[in-house]
Structure 1
Amino acid sequence: MRILRVAMAQMNPTVGDIAGNSRAIKRWIKEARKAKADVVAFPELAVTGYPPEDLLLKPRFVADNLRALDDIAKACIGVLAVVGHVGQGPAANGTFRQSVVAAGQHELTNAAALIGERGVLCRYSKWLLPNYGVFDESRYFHPGRTLPIITLRGATVGLTVCEDIWFPDGPTRLQAAAGADVIININASPFQIGKSRIREQMLATRARENGVIVTYTNTVGGQDELVFDGNSLVLDQTGAVVARAKSFQEDFLVADLNVDAVARHRMVQRRTKALSAKQAGAVERMTVRLPAAPKRTFVVSALEPLWDELDEVYAALVLGVRDYVRKNGFKKAVIGLSGGIDSAITAAIAVDALGADNVLGLFMPSPYTSQESGEDVAELARRLGIACDTIAITAMFDVYRHALSTAFAGRPVDVTEENLQARIRGNLLMAYSNKFGHLVLTTGNKSEMSVGYATLYGDMAGGFAVIKDVPKTMVYELSHLRNAAGKSPVIPKRVLDRAPTAELRPNQKDEDSLPPYPVLDPILKAYVEEDRSLEEIVAMGFDRAVAARVIGLVDRSEYKRRQAPIGIKITHRAFGKDRRMPITSGYRIS
């Protein structure tokens, strides 16, 4: 029986930390050797981290990445490795990407190298370069046009990178037609709600329709607004999942691939399409010899369960906070606690990410802050085990109003005075950040960010927006989930039950200014995430005037969002790279 043992290193690289990433890769190679693997696969751009963005414009960065690959090869004693890195080929004249990189520089590719102890044996360059949502690969990379086919331990193996496996007529079909039994696909596939199941279904289809074994190695960890969920997979030639790595943490998955089963399956199915002459010309065949296979018993691979969507979202938020704080050199975070649900769930996430000793709350009551809010903040801090300082802002608020009294004489109190309170609080939080080096975690949710129900330089002031992509209705769902997860609830019941309020004027409620969140959130999803028109939203059953008002608020608030801190992406379309609207625009649909 022909068996190929493949290891998959689901690692958490840091963008730009080429030395640190290389050390991690070499550690995993040692683990692969201990596991008696024939080949170990690492994620897409594992050497540089993903996405490296405009670091790719620095020739030294590219050169450092290539030198690191040569160094990694020295660790490949008795085992092969498939390593994602930035490739560099002959210059291509007259292209946009060439001008972006720098005149005279070689073209760059998003590459997977098969390496052994003597160096790079072959290199596959990604064919299909995503240029949508958070992806800008066409800005930096040239597409590959060759198909390496490697014979190893009697198995025929094809290499692909991420997007290449998503399309039915892409490189996977061509490699299968060229005789590949196994496709080793390396990835940096970001998390969004529901994607793990969609991805798994796609991979099952690709394995089944081509009659190949697919190994799918994904990265894990947080990188700015992106979170990578892991969930690396092995699927057999029928599309069945035979191995699955952990979610949202590093993992090392080993699988024995039965290559003879692929041959038997193909004899029965007989579905393989022949390559055209042009496609056949792209195939590059090579045979790689390894030492005689060591004695080893058959591996029973791990098959971790898929998580429920809400559990995935919470885990993504925790991992996103942990890695943003850790990778940017912070140790502690400070959060403005108001007694409301948004700051409560943000604090819970921060504690789960960083530990209670590394989270500080700051309660800043104004003349309009209720006694209940103070009690709820104290109870939340007690349950989470965090320290919480209190600084009343009434005296500071009075100083501002006195200073502006002459200029504002004769004008009624309005949102100006509300925003003053928010900005005083923002200043205090940033003062704590400056003095103690803590990262300020902002607490605004996606519903508020969408319609501009937030104050520039006030509650929007900070370094990282934890729930920026979480709609208000989901904030409540996550809060109930977190309360059910521990031995006892951490978010007080009254916080969950009280009507949302900013407490910036007497008896204020969010619904004084906005539609109820169960109405608002579906309209926002339709307009922001699905690009539906006013007519389409009305056809969904929403009141025309309400929908038109919401759309208008979204369109007029772009200038605020452009100045907001980055936050963790969890939906199909988050604010930021996913949705790039002009601030100055005369186009209106309402």
Structure 2
Amino acid sequence: MAKIDREIAWFNRLKIAVGQIDVKLGDFNGNAEKIIAMTKKAHELHCNVVVFPEMCVAGGLPFDLLERSDFVRSQISALKDVAGRVGKIVAIVGFVDRRVEGQDINLYDSAAVIFDGRIRRVIDKNTLGAHDGFDERRYFTPGEPSEPFKVNSVPLGILIGDEIMQRDASKRLVEKGASLIIAPMASSFRVGRSGARALEVADLASRADVDVLVANLVGGQDELVFDGASFAADPLGQVLWRAPFCEDGLFVAEIPQPAGQSRVQDEVEDVRQALCLAIRDFVVKNGFSKVIVGLSGGIDSALVATLAAQSLGAENVLGVIMPSEVSAPESAEDAQKLASNLGIETRIIPITPIYGAFMEGLREHFAGKEPGVAEENLQARVRGTVLMALSNKLGRLVLCTGNRSERLVGYATLYGDMVGGFAPLSDVPKTLVYDIADQVNSKAGSEVIPQRIIDKEPSAELRPNQTDAESLGPYESLDPILEGYVDEGKSFEELLEAGHDEDAIRNALSRFMGSEFKRYQGPPGPRIVSRVTASERRMPLTKAVEAWFARRLWES
């Protein structure tokens, strides 16, 4: 008999809501008010329990802010304010606890169980690990294993974050009598991860013979996008209920889930939604409301402008078109058409006179040298200077338009097209950029992004008739090589064995190894496809590459 038919199931005795909340790191009072408002709403909906995500009072993953005692104490003070305003409903709230224990001051990744104006118990995370660049063992002390407690005669256990992935932890609570395990969580997005997360927990629920309810954080935090998608699973390994993806709100775990509320997963659409959430939260949480995008007439800037308009509103996006003598006439036309489709403001600032002034100032220093990369990159740097000057004058954040493929092979100009405060596509491969653009148009039922932009050959337009392919090869070949080497750790030989072209491998890997210094200096962007965030990568700049790597690239 399916779990959903059992009269003793928790959802027949409890009504539980999940506060899938978008909070701001360090905004303790604001976070507390959102928690209180959702708790009151849950009570009005006659819920017995409302569950909030891991560390939600703090506002997300605090990293080294946890080394600030005033940060931690202020957050605890906000939790106490929340507790005093909770009525006849059980609220489970994730926070960071601080305790003086003997000569030590210890921090814990904890959940407070609150009822009727008081914190009734505090449950600590027992199994610490590392995820999303956040090493829990560096900051926290492991807590003691917790005991189940009853609400409306239903024995509840709590496991925090990825503890729910530990079979032994779930088994221990089941042996203590828990029939439902609740997991406040702060798990971030990566392509395919939200679906895999639910399936992995559902499998664990089956093996542990227990119901599980996961309450996940939502919102953008620098390189991380917490995607929500909270869910409930049963002992048969079924995912019975899912909360919306990348959406802030209070959601009642209704089982069976009402028709029309279940969600069909679409990876490309998931990426689009995650990018919009990342842009909105980075811009707004950092005190901006408006952005600037340099519009080249190419696919990357077109997609960034589109996502910015979707996430912030067209009225808050300024497109800057900066043609030069080597720009194709249709590039400015395509940029203007895109801006018209989006309804965003544009400004046209030709860079030729500015570039000419630079060249005149450098004329005697460049004398006797053939024109080349320096002159090409100077054009990109003039554009970067224009964008940053407008940013300073207008108080708008510049969005960098570079994609992951370019970033990994260094096909970008420092202090040029790499300028900006946030780079939405920095972990989006070029091939996926095209997929998202197609998705945008398909979803709209019209050419939001002009088809000519999608169809044209990518080009930096820093010299006549330049194309990306003449330097990098086709992106359809480049992206799988980069994925294999960077994400999967494949060697040169293994890439060859996988069927990739030898010259393409040599070109891609030599560019990758020679451009680490650029990646160190690029703006942050949301993790989308990479297994680790950019800040988690620890590749040294200074290294004897030729001793073990470059010889393989260039030997015949």
Normalising by the residue count of structure 2, what TM-score does the alignment of the two structures yield? Answer: 0.94
Query: Who is 1:165 aligned against?
Result: 164
Query: Who is 2:113 aligned against?
Result: 114
Distance 2:260 2:240 in 1: 8
Distance 1:39 1:459 in 2: 50
Aligned ranges 1:192-341 → 2 under 5 Å = 192-255=190-253, 303-341=261-299
Q: Secondary structure at the match of 2:366?
A: coil
* Contact 1:254–1:301 (CA under 8 A) maintained in structure 2: no
* Contact 1:561–1:575 (CA under 8 A) maintained in structure 2: no
Distance 1:251 1:496 in 2: 35
Query: Who is 1:135 aligned against?
Result: 134
Query: Who is 1:464 aligned against?
Result: 422
Distance 1:326 1:118 in 2: 33
Q: Secondary structure at the match of 1:128?
A: coil
> Which of 58, 77, 87 in structure 1 is aligned with 2:87?
77
Letter in 2 for 1:362: V
Letter in 1 for 2:88: G
Distance 2:308 2:391 in 1: 16
Instruction: Show CA shifts across 1:451-497 (max 9, x none).
Output: 00000100001110010000011111111111111142111111111
Matched, 1:29 2:39: yes
How far residue 128 of structure 1 moved from its aligned partner, in angstroms, is 2.6
Q: Secondary structure at the match of 1:252?
A: strand
* Contact 1:133–1:577 (CA under 8 A) maintained in structure 2: no
How far residue 579 of structure 1 moved from its aligned partner, in angstroms, is 2.1
Query: Who is 2:549 aligned against?
Result: 589
Q: Secondary structure at the match of 1:123?
A: strand
Distance 2:532 2:355 in 1: 35
* Contact 1:10–1:252 (CA under 8 A) maintained in structure 2: yes
Distance 1:403 1:72 in 2: 62
How far residue 504 of structure 1 moved from its aligned partner, in angstroms, is 0.3
Distance 1:198 1:572 in 2: 15
Instruction: Show CA shifts across 1:35-62 (max 9, x none).
Output: 2222111000010011111111111111
Letter in 2 for 1:44: E
How far residue 66 of structure 1 moved from its aligned partner, in angstroms, is 1.3
Instruction: Show CA shifts across 1:290-341 (max 9, x none).
Output: xxxxxxxx99698431420000000000111011111111111000000111
Using the aligned pairs only, state the percent identity. Answer: 42
Distance 1:227 1:373 in 2: 33
Distance 1:132 1:558 in 2: 23
How far residue 90 of structure 1 moved from its aligned partner, in angstroms, is 4.1
* Contact 1:185–1:214 (CA under 8 A) maintained in structure 2: yes
Query: Who is 1:292 aligned against?
Result: none
Q: 1:575 to 1:160 in 2, by over 3 A?
A: closer
Distance 2:152 2:531 in 1: 44
Q: Secondary structure at the match of 2:253?
A: strand
Normalising by the residue count of structure 1, what TM-score does the alignment of the two structures yield? Answer: 0.88
Letter in 2 for 1:546: A
Distance 1:301 1:153 in 2: 28
Instruction: Show CA shifts across 1:398-431 (max 9, x none).
Output: 1211221211111111110011000000000001
Query: Who is 2:143 aligned against?
Result: 144
Query: Who is 2:4 aligned against?
Result: none
Structure 2 regions of 5+ residues with no counterpart? 1-6, 551-556
Distance 1:219 1:321 in 2: 17
> Which of 49, 55, 58 in structure 2 is aligned with 1:48?
58
* Contact 1:29–1:75 (CA under 8 A) maintained in structure 2: no
Query: Who is 2:3 aligned against?
Result: none
Q: 1:84 to 1:309 in 2, by over 3 A?
A: same
Distance 1:415 1:302 in 2: 56
Structure 1 regions of 5+ residues with no counterpart? 93-103, 258-297
Q: Secondary structure at the match of 1:76?
A: coil
Matched, 1:430 2:388: yes
Instruction: Show CA shifts across 1:257-307 (max 9, x none).
Output: 8xxxxxxxxxxxxxxxxxxxxxxxxxxxxxxxxxxxxxxxx9969843142
* Contact 2:527–2:534 (CA under 8 A) maintained in structure 1: no
Query: Who is 1:443 aligned against?
Result: 401
Letter in 2 for 1:140: Y
* Contact 2:167–2:208 (CA under 8 A) maintained in structure 1: no
Query: Who is 2:476 aligned against?
Result: 518
Q: 1:399 to 1:547 in 2, by over 3 A?
A: same
Q: Secondary structure at the match of 2:95?
A: strand
Letter in 2 for 1:527: Y
Distance 2:77 2:314 in 1: 41
Q: Secondary structure at the match of 1:310?
A: helix
Matched, 1:371 2:369: no
Query: Who is 2:172 aligned against?
Result: 174
Matched, 1:13 2:23: yes
Instruction: Show CA shifts across 1:494-552 (max 9, x none).
Output: 11111110110111111121121111000011111111111111111112332133112
